[in-house]
Amino acid sequence: KAGVTQTPRYLIKTRGQQVTLSCSPISGHRSVSWYQQTPGQGLQFLFEYFSETQRNKGNFPGRFSGRQFSNSRSEMNVSTLELGDSALYLCASSSGLAGGPPYNEQFFGPGTRLTVL
């Protein structure tokens, strides 16, 4: 079974631009969660999508948004980029269902490294 894939792996943008990151979950998984990882704030939950609906949201400004398609692939978008948005963005996929096997484990992708100049 193929793992979680994220594209692109590296991205350089300038302040004020917008960016779209993509995450393809493991086949059959319906939940995709996004996390931001920075040296200062650590790993922080952005949002989770399940069956094309946002099921949970972290404490991030509205510039951060996402969506999920019918094939469970997910995209996250950051508009009006700021220097502080430079981070590793990780997505994780799981079945998303109560009682899903095993323990509804989340499988992480390799991440997208975003640098904002």
Partner 1 sequence: AQTVTQSQPEMSVQEAETVTLSCTYDTSESDYYLFWYKQPPSRQMILVIRQEAYKQQNATENRFSVNFQKAAKSFSLKISDSQLGDAAMYFCAYRSAFEMNNNAGNMLTFGGGTRLMVKP
Q: Which stretches of the chain bind partner 1, using CB under 8 A?
A: 31, 33, 35, 42-45, 48, 50, 55-56, 58, 88, 90, 92, 94, 96-99, 103-106, 108-111
Instruction: Rank residues 12 and 43 by Cβ distance to partner 1 and give the closer one.
Output: 43
Q: How far apart are CA 101 and CA 115, in angstroms?
A: 36
Instruction: Rank residues 6 and 81 by Cβ distance to partner 1 and give the closer one.
Output: 6
Buried b (16+ CB within 10 A) or exposed e, 94-106: bbbeeeeeeeeeb
Q: How far is the CB of 106 from partner 1 (least distance, A)?
A: 7
Contacts of 9 (CB under 8 A, 6+ apart): 110, 111, 112, 113
Instruction: Rank residues 26 and 90 by Cβ distance to partner 1 and give the closer one.
Output: 90
